[in-house]
Structure 1
Amino acid sequence: MKIIHLISGPRNISTAMMYAFAQRSDTTVIDEPFYGYYLKHSDIDHPGKEEILNSMETDPEIVIKNLYSAAKKTPVLFIKDMAKHIQGLNTDFMNKMHNVFLIREPSHIIASFSKVVDHIPEKEIGYSYSLRLYEQLIKKEQNPLVIDSGIVLGDPESSLIKICDALGIEYQSSMLTWQPGPRQEDGIWAKYWYNNVHKSAGLKHKMEKPKDVDEKYYSLYLQSIEYYKELLKHAIK
């Protein structure tokens, strides 16, 4: 049993990474299992909030129990998670997982996220908590991985080969492509957030350059870029 726990920020190709792992013959994937807990215990107003709360478990202890039960179904379980969703939880449940931090240059996150949500506090991006959590795991000798979205998009196949090698699993070429459209592993929130990835057919080569940031989000960008740079130092090249 191998549990890969992807800890990401929003708008960070995390869904594409989930789709990539869903193509594997040995892997079950789960989409943002703590989203309901996050919405229930925060004042954040996301699209479809009530629908999401009514559709999923919000007790983190039950969620954790269910995750470990799901891990028995296939040799590999891939959990797509958001850093902000687990903030405030006892993270001991991560001790038996392979924890992977997925980061992206913040101007891309802000530009994409602001198309769906107008008000973006730093906790929504989640980089400050991601860095703290990474440092906590290092102290526990957990040896978490850091993956940068820009590096992955720059060379998807080589990046996936290196990621799989670091995780101790065999790379499968099927991870590079999938059929466009909604997928069975999508959370109920997919209709609000996954339009772009639903148009995709796989991880394609793309060189990302920083985007212009609207003035209203510039202080958020300055906050986030410092945390991002610290995490980037540890990213798989």
Structure 2
Amino acid sequence: MNIAMWSGPRNLSTAMMYAFAARGDCAVWDEPFYAAYLSRTGIDHPMRDEIIAAHEADPAKVAAACAAPAPDGQPLFYQKHMTLHMLPGIDRGFMRSCQNVFLIRHPARVVASYAKKREGPTLADIGFTQQADLFDEVAGWQGKPPVVIDSADIRANPKTALTALCTALGIPFTEAMLHWPAGGHASDGIWASHWYGAVHRSTGFEDPEGPLPDLPPDYARLVEQALPHYERLWAVRLRA
């Protein structure tokens, strides 16, 4: 089974990749289309040149690999995708061979976290509109809403939330998903040194977050733009 997990940045996505990697029966792939996204857009991201040099930048080759059987003969293949990387013109046909899941997080938390690593994010940078579009596309061809899981529910009760997710995917939950070694994973993209500091120090999911952060006016306006897309997916999220 190929599992495509769709989220924006700063959304518990790396911790979720580590959780699936810890199962022992699951290959993982970190942001398959990142190099293609940078190459096609010319956008200035941290480590841009290094990412393009180190990872496959041809989206057709990436898409073919996403639809292929899991590496190393594993029964599961977890792909951590960023919704903003799916640019117009990239063939999305591979998604039909995957179980597509949408990982969401309140935009105020996303913006606050993202801005610590890259200042001045735009709506296009944080992936909410692209996530909603992909959600609608999958819902359209499968005839029902795809699976949605909220990072807040995972942090509130990781075992309960991941059990519900595994049930929705038709795979067994295993306690191994709740813990992983500190220091990162061999499948991390080269960009991990810039973005993954906190999760590299972790050995499991962090405790629930506190109140929503206070944001300056420009970031608050960005949250207002993203919020309707988040709320629409939140309404159909998995509930244990």
Quote the sequence identity (%).
37
Counterpart residue number, 2:189:
187
Report the residue type matching 1:9 in the other structure: G
1:1-237 aligned at under 5 Å gives the runs 2-71=1-70, 73-88=73-88, 89-141=90-142, 143-237=145-239
Deviation at 1:208, TM superposition (A): 4.2
Secondary structure of the structure 1 residue equivalent to 2:136 = helix
Deviation at 1:230, TM superposition (A): 0.7
Q: CA RMSD in A?
A: 1.3
User: How far apart in 1 are the matches of 2:8 and 2:184?
Assistant: 21
Report the residue type matching 2:227 in the other structure: I
Residue deviations 1:170-212 (CA, integer Å, cap 9, x gap): 0010000011112211100000000010111112432443111
More displaced stretch, 18-27 vs 67-76: 67-76
Query: Any unmatched runs of 5+ in structure 2?
Result: none
Report the residue type matching 2:84 in the other structure: K
User: How far apart in 2 are the matches of 1:110 and 1:20?
Assistant: 24
User: How far apart in 2 are the matches of 1:83 and 1:32?
Assistant: 10
Secondary structure of the structure 2 residue equivalent to 1:120 = coil
Residue deviations 1:90-134 (CA, integer Å, cap 9, x gap): 322100100011110011111110011112111111111111111
User: How far apart in 2 are the matches of 1:210 and 1:94?
Assistant: 33
Query: Any unmatched runs of 5+ in structure 1?
Result: none
Deviation at 1:61, TM superposition (A): 0.9
Instruction: Tell me, yes or no, if the aligned pair for 1:105 and 1:228 is still in contact at 8 Å.
Output: yes
User: How far apart in 2 are the matches of 1:23 and 1:56?
Assistant: 23
Instruction: Tell me, yes or no, if the aligned pair for 2:178 and 2:205 is still in contact at 8 Å.
Output: yes
Instruction: Tell me, yes or no, if the aligned pair for 2:2 and 2:70 is still in contact at 8 Å.
Output: yes
Instruction: Tell me, yes or no, if the aligned pair for 1:29 and 1:78 is still in contact at 8 Å.
Output: yes
Instruction: Tell me, yes or no, if the aligned pair for 1:156 and 1:204 is still in contact at 8 Å.
Output: no
User: How far apart in 2 are the matches of 1:208 and 1:225?
Assistant: 18
Instruction: Tell me, yes or no, if the aligned pair for 2:6 and 2:81 is still in contact at 8 Å.
Output: yes
Report the residue type matching 1:169 in the other structure: I
Deviation at 1:70, TM superposition (A): 4.8
User: How far apart in 2 are the matches of 1:87 and 1:167?
Assistant: 26
What TM-score, normalized by structure 1, do the two folds share? 0.96
User: How far apart in 1 are the matches of 2:43 and 2:223?
Assistant: 19
Count of matched residue pairs:
236
User: How far apart in 2 are the matches of 1:106 and 1:174?
Assistant: 29
Secondary structure of the structure 1 residue equivalent to 2:117 = coil
